[in-house]
Amino acid sequence: MLKSIDDKVFTKIKKAKGGSLFFIDDFLQFGSAKAVGKALERLVEREQLNRVARGIYCRLEKDPILGFVKPDLDRIAQAIAKRDKARIVPTGVLALNALGLSTQIPMNVVYLTDGSARKVEIGKRKITFKKTSPKSLATIGTISTLVIQALKEIGKEEVTENDEKLILKQLMKEEKSRLEHDIRFAPEWIRIILRKAL
């Protein structure tokens, strides 16, 4: 008996680990975009798959205590970037939160990208991709990239001694060569702080 598109799609989803994200493009070997889209919708109706946003699906991870856990916005943003072969950099409150400079979990997150500018709605929350110049994405260190964005968010006049202490502590985890590379792409006032970590 020939396997239906639904079965083929579901087999592939079952093999992926919990928390994996999927796009229609991931299943085009099984049929047209329209047929795959319909199959995915049917799997959602049967609760074998979760729809995260328009065109984005997920096999939910199961936590022994919390039950099913939805993927966070950063995971979704990274998956979209990977699909679009685009680079992204978290900005604003998201960068502050990632570094432990803020406990605020942003409802809406903004990433700079060299891909297309767009907004993706995830329930009541939103991911915004803002088109930026290649220079803004030229940094290579995970931590130093976050630090530059976080400091831009705080602003030159608002950076406290405590902020600087936390930032320097985080920068100790960055590879020295990456930090040296990234300093060149930061505004002068941020370079002064970054150099202290060297």
* Gyration radius from the chain CA atoms: 20
Which residues does 10 contact at the CB level (< 8 Å), separation at least 6? 43, 48, 49
Question: How many helical (H) and strand (E) elements, i.e. helices and strands, does the chain have?
Answer: 8, 9
Burial code (b: 16+ CB inside 10 Å, e: under 16) for 64-79 equals eeeeeeebebbebbbb
Residue type for position 4: S
Q: For the segment 7-46, what is each residue's pLDDT rounded down to a tens digit? A: 999 999 999 988 899 999 999 999 999 999 999 999 999 9
According to the model, what pLDDT value does residue 70 have? 85
Task: Please provide the CATH number assigned to the domain covering 9-69.
Answer: 1.10.10
* Cβ–Cβ under 8 Å, residues 46 and 4: no
Mean pLDDT of all residues in 149-176: 95
> Tokens 């020295």 appear where?
176
All structural domains of the chain with their residue ranges: 9-69, 73-196
Say if residue 69's pLDDT is above 70: yes
Walk across the sheet containing 50-53 and list its strands: 21-23, 56-58, 50-53
Considering the chain, what percentage of its residues have pLDDT values greater than 90? 82
Cα→Cα distances 169→45, 90, 101, 157, 196, Å:
48, 20, 11, 21, 11
According to the model, what pLDDT value does residue 190 have? 96
Of residues 98, 99, 97, 184, the one with CA closest to residue 140: 184
The rounded mean pLDDT for the chain is 92
According to the model, what pLDDT value does residue 106 have? 86
According to the model, what pLDDT value does residue 1 have? 43
According to the model, what pLDDT value does residue 68 have? 80
Mean pLDDT of all residues in 137-146: 95
CA distance 58 to 70: 8
Q: For the segment 74-124, what is each residue's pLDDT rounded down to a tens digit? A: 999 999 999 999 999 999 999 999 999 998 888 899 999 999 999 999 989
According to the model, what pLDDT value does residue 158 have? 95
